[in-house]
Amino acid sequence: MLVIKEDRTATMEFDIEIIRKDFPILSQKVNGQPLVYLDNAASSQKPLAVIDAISDYYKTTHSNVHRGVHYLSQRATTAYEDTREKVRALINAKLDHEIIFTRGTTESINLLASSLGKHQIQKGDEIVISEMEHHSNIVPWQLLCEETGAILKVIPVNDQGEITEESYHNVINEKTKIVAICHVSNTLGTINSIASIIEYAHQFGALTVIDGAQALPHMTVDVQQLNCDFYCFSGHKMFGPTGIGILYGKEALLDALPPYHGGGNMIENVTFEKTTYNKLPHKFEAGTPNIAGGIGLGAAIDYIMKIGYEEIGKYEDELAKYGHEQLSAIKNLRFIGDATEKSAVFSFVIEGIHPSDLGTILDQQGIAVRTGHHCTQPLMDKFGISGTVRASFAFYNTIDEVDRLVNGINKAVAMLS
């Protein structure tokens, strides 16, 4: 378990060796080599605290939530609903019921596209996304455009992989009804100036949807300060379980939206003539939810908060700085995305070497990276490539692992050239 060392000022010391012991999966060997896990932007690993919370829940607490009068149901409900409060506190939402549990970021965005689309989008309206969006923040809006006759507009990114003020000023206007944009790019690592984009979108009365899947594992998010209308993220990228995610929305906006799925739990009263819907958040949570996933996410949030985003940020900045230096020294390596504000994600290509070949040889050396288009094909088109190699770091990665990566790449290049 995580041991927190406290000094006299009660700040916590970041001890990488102790932290790594909290993640049992990291201590294994892959292809005979100690695993170097650098695919965190796809999914992060889970600390024992999360694994134990899920296991304990099934051993001691499992029951269906919300309507049971018996002991286990009430305990399960309390544990599950505790996570809602933890999420609220984590992102500084005003109210618990502004936190909707979903299966993940993808479902959160689909929920919005579906429910917003039914009432608020008409032919000729414009929906604005950016060129660096993940397919999950492109396709739901395309589907909505096809249904309604709305038009999808795209904010371009520059060669560094950034969205400039000029570029979004050129796209957002009085026709814009929704601006859906990522906080941090999964492919480039770019941290977007979303507060400014949100403020600008609001000047035209547009609603703002932020895909925060890549932000929560690394940085503090304050939805009130950002003043975004909706914010979406996934549990599994922030050290929690798969199959659980969050949709945050401002109360008044969520209240005005029609439900997404119908079923149990989301109703107030059902007759064959008419059904009235439950209050927030349950209106959007039909059926038996992912209770274990919710409880696991709560444990992941506790874990992150114990370490603290400030410590995580400081440590990851060091990793990013060292990684950038070391990778830059590799001959013929070109970063795809080199933004000034960037998380510890490196996407790159090496001249004359196919990313899948490089990924295969790295895997043989126990190094897990992702290769391909990273679900951002339009972004690959912009850079004129079919894919990249992406090494994405988390706070449990080490300086030594940066060296392993660099040595691994050098070996691969020698073999493949």
User: Helix, strand, coil proportions of the chain in percent (round to 5)?
Assistant: 45, 20, 40
Query: Active site residue: 145, 182, 232, 375, which one?
Result: 375
Q: Which is nearer to other proteins, 357 or 403 (CB)?
A: 357
By CB neighbour count within 10 A (0-12 exposed, 13-18 middle, 19+ buried), where does 2 fall? middle
Contact residues for other proteins, defined by CB under 8 A: 31, 354-357, 359-361, 364, 371-372, 386-387, 415-416
CB of 357 to other proteins, least distance (A): 5
For residue 324, count CB atoms less than 10 angstroms from its CB and return exposed for 0-12, middle for 13-18, buried for 19 or more: middle
The secondary structure of residue 11, as a DSSP letter, is P
Nearer to other proteins, 90 or 369 (CB): 369
Nearer residue to other proteins within complex by CB, 80 or 348? 348
By DSSP bridging, strand 275-277 and strand 267-270 are antiparallel
Q: Which of 127, 162, 161, 159 is nearest to 146 (CA)?
A: 127
**Least Å from the CB of residue 390 to other proteins:** 13
Q: How far is the CB of 19 from other proteins (least distance, A)?
A: 29
Minimum CB separation from other proteins for residue 167, in Å?
30
Cα(359)–Cα(405) distance, integer angstroms: 11
Count of Cβ atoms closer than 10 Å to residue 395 Cβ = 24
CA-based R_g, the chain, Å: 22
| Per-residue buried b or exposed e for 33-60, using 16+ beta carbons within 10 Å of the residue's own CB | eebbbbbbbbebbbbbbbbebbeebeee
Specify whether 232 is catalytic. no
Question: Which of residues 290 and 388 has its CB atom nearest to other proteins in the complex?
Answer: 388
By C-beta, is 114 or 371 nearer to other proteins? 371
- Residues designated catalytic: 375
